[in-house]
Chain A
Amino acid sequence: MRLVSLLAAVALVPASLAAYVYAAEPILARSGRGGKRAGARPWVWLAPTVALLGLFLVYPIVETAILAFRDARGQRFVGLENFARVFTDKAMLVVLRNNLAWLVFFTAGTLGLGLLIALLSDRVRWEPLAKASIFIPMAISFVAAGVIWRFMFEFRPAGEAQVGTVNAIASALIPGFEPKAWLFDKATNNPALIMVGIWMWTGFAMVILSAGLKGIPTELIEAARIDGAGEFQIFLRVILPLAAPTIAVVATTLMINVLKVFDIVYVMTNGALETEVIANRMYKELFNFRHFGRASALALLLLFAVAPVIVMNVKRYKEGSARHGSAR
């Protein structure tokens, strides 16, 4: 039954979409002109897009913005009550603190490690192998990564054989080390979760930064070397300024993604012991407390946080099209 619906979807969707534009063509051809001037034709081709974007993105965003100012059931207008709660409630403040910690430490850690690995792998013969090993976590789900790292952080009381890799290594290396329950200790659980995020996303940062670094002309680096600059000087004075635009792009992408972080926390701690982040709190407001107003207010908070990036994307596109427009 399931496979039948899969096969039906695979065969029918492309076929019916193809039939759709071919069927519309005679009607359009009779009333309009061919070539680039297309009359109503663009709207035929764009109709599925407009319908899906309108129904699942534009309308819901507007609706969420309205719900954020209403009560639990979305019926009564309550003004800024939901937002006031986000910024005063103790549990909510922990949520905001955690998101901020993710934003800062995840972004800095991923960017730093990605840059380091990109620089190092450029100088070894086994570059593809090194890159593949770092990139693998990017291909698996956050859920699988959560399981992997729960196993890494597994805790057994001192004296018992440690099953978790982290505790085993720490016990072997540090004399007198007491095994820790990393995910259940308020001092270490958030850093542990953020580390999992870094483990997953460093490959992404590395791939893009490495491509950016390879675009730097070797003559510039050679010239600096002949002038007597050391490797660190070259990195600071030549590589870093030239790679800055790429670094900025990677940083923005990382920040957009880390604001939405959900899966890692859901699988590893489910927000227990002060590890909750906005997306997980929103899920709880929605399904455990059934409060549409507060859940929507949290979602809107995410929108405010990414708004600068959205504006930047649109601006950059506008500038780009102004530059290329005449050429085409």
Chain B
Amino acid sequence: MAARDKRPSARRLASRAAINLILGAICVAWLVPTAGLLVSSLRPRELIALSGWWEAFRAPLRLTLDNYVNVLSRANMGASFVNSLVVAVPGTLIPMAIAAYAAYAFAWMDFKGKEWLYLVVVGLIAVPIQLTLIPVLRMFNALGVTGSFLAVWLAHAAYGLPFSIYLLRNFIGQLPPSMLESAFVDGASHPTVFFRLVLPTSLPAIASLGIFQFMWVWNDLLVSLIYLGGTPDVAPMTVTIANMVNSYGGGWEYLTAAAFVSMALPLVVFFSMQKYFIRGVLAGSVKE
């Protein structure tokens, strides 16, 4: 009897070990590429080209920050870091502010044409931005704003709007009607209700959306590549790195450090606000 009880549990133990082993192997495989790049970025230039990054752990240990110093001072990465911030922060704030207004209007105001206007917004979520590149570029050229931050801000704002409105409307539309109605009865105006009531209660949704949009803009290559026109002094990090790859090819002492500089901020954001980020991902795809 006892032996019979033991056998399934032994089998269970084996299967549990197998699950841990397989998942562990997958996770290691997933982390190795990034870890390898990080280790390489800390090795002296001549060693990167000479031996694999795993040799770095062999004595004598020779690690250095030279690659980071070089890439930040000489390869334009310092300025590009600032450019990425200048692109991404307004590129996040503008669409969110505008989307919050629209979401509030869609959720709590009645007007003619509301239904079809919202359908246009939902329809635009899945439209590839490639469809807009040529006319928008011609428009920017005609206005003389190609290569300016204003151009990328407006473009990112517009491209981020459909999804932002959709996400925020779902959230704002679920607020209890009694809460808003009692405020209106007390004589509050729409702006007061929006800023004092709706905005503070929507903070979790706004945080998720903000992180999402920020990551999207920070990591974007195409929009900056096209509307900033490849001028080095306005190029964000993604564009600068892409140019480095094309011109240096295997200049790994630059590329490894540059890639890591560009990853630093998203990784910090991800680890400190993982909960909100994942909530944003979930809200974006599990519709309804």
Q: Which residues of A contact B (CB under 8 A)?
A: 2-3, 5-6, 9-10, 13-14, 17-18, 21-22, 25, 29, 34-38, 41-43, 45-46, 48-50, 52-53, 55-61, 63-64, 67, 113, 116-117, 120-121, 123-124, 129-130, 132-144, 146-152, 154, 161-165, 168, 199, 202, 204, 207-208, 211-212, 231, 246, 249-250, 253, 256, 259-260, 262-263, 266-267, 270, 278-279, 282-283, 286, 292, 295-296, 298-300, 302-303, 306, 309-310, 313-314, 316-318, 320-321, 328
Contact = CB atoms under 8 A, between A and B. Distances in A.
A120 B82 contact: no
A143 B89 contact: no
A129 B190 CA distance: 45
Interface of B: 15-16, 19-20, 22-23, 26-27, 30-34, 36-37, 40, 48-54, 82-83, 85-86, 89-90, 93-94, 97-99, 101-102, 104-105, 108-111, 114-115, 117-137, 139, 149, 153-155, 157-159, 161-162, 165, 173, 177, 184, 189-191, 194-195, 215, 218-222, 225-226, 237-238, 241-242, 245-246, 250, 252, 255-256, 258-260, 262-263, 266-267, 269-271, 274, 277-278, 281-282, 285-288
Contacts of B121: 49, 53
B80 to A, nearest CB: 11
A307 B37 CA distance: 39
Q: Is chain A's interface secondary structure helix, strand, loop, or mixed overall? A: helix
B84 to A, nearest CB: 10
Contacts of A149: 33
A160 B242 CA distance: 28
A212 B93 CA distance: 31
Contacts of B89: 6, 9-10
B83 A2 contact: yes
14 contacts: A25-B191, A56-B155, A56-B159, A60-B131, A141-B263, A143-B241, A143-B262, A147-B258, A152-B36, A154-B250, A161-B50, A207-B278, A292-B134, A303-B127
A57 to B, nearest CB: 6
A14 B93 contact: yes
B1 to A, nearest CB: 20
Contacts of A45: 101-102, 104-105, 109, 190
B259 A267 contact: no
B93 A262 contact: no
B49 to A, nearest CB: 7
A13 B97 contact: yes
Given A42-B109, A56-B154, A279-B222, 5 more contacts: A151-B256, A152-B36, A204-B281, A246-B286, A310-B125
Given A3-B86, A59-B135, A286-B134, A163 B52 contact: yes
Contact of B222 (A50, A55, A138, A263): A263
